[in-house]
A and B are shown apart, each in its own frame.
Chain A
Amino acid sequence: MLHTKIIDIKNSKLSIEKAETFISSQDYGASIFFSGTVRNQNNDQIVTGITYDSHDELVIKSFEEIYYETSQKLNIKNKSVFIEHAKGYLSLGEISIVVAVACKHRDEVYVLSRYFIEEIKKRSPIWKKEHYKDKESAWLKGNPILHEKD
Chain B
Amino acid sequence: MKVKIELYGASRDFSKQSFLNFEVDKNSTIKDIRNRLIDYLDEKFNGNENYKKIVNSSAFCSADNNIVSDNYKITSNEKIAIIPPIGGG
Contact = CB atoms under 8 A, between A and B. Distances in A.
A55 B84 contact: no
A124 interface: yes
Contact of A144 (B10, B57, B61, B81): B57
Interface residues of B, number: 19
B9 interface: yes
Interface in B44-64: 57-59, 61
Contact of A121 (B12, B58, B87): B87
Contacts of A121: 86-89
Given A53-B12, A125-B8, A61 B65 contact: yes
A122 B88 CA distance: 9
Contacts of A149: 67
Interface string A136-150: 000111111101010
Given A53-B9, A53-B12, A127-B9, A145 B85 contact: yes
Contact of B61 (A52, A58, A120, A143): A58
B83 interface: yes
Nearest to A144: B85
Nearest to A148: B67
A36 interface: yes
A57 interface: yes
Leading 8 A-B pairs by shortest Cβ distance: A126-B88, A127-B9, A142-B85, A142-B87, A139-B10, A147-B67, A57-B65, A142-B86
Interface of A: 36, 52-55, 57-59, 61, 85, 96-97, 117, 120-128, 139-145, 147, 149
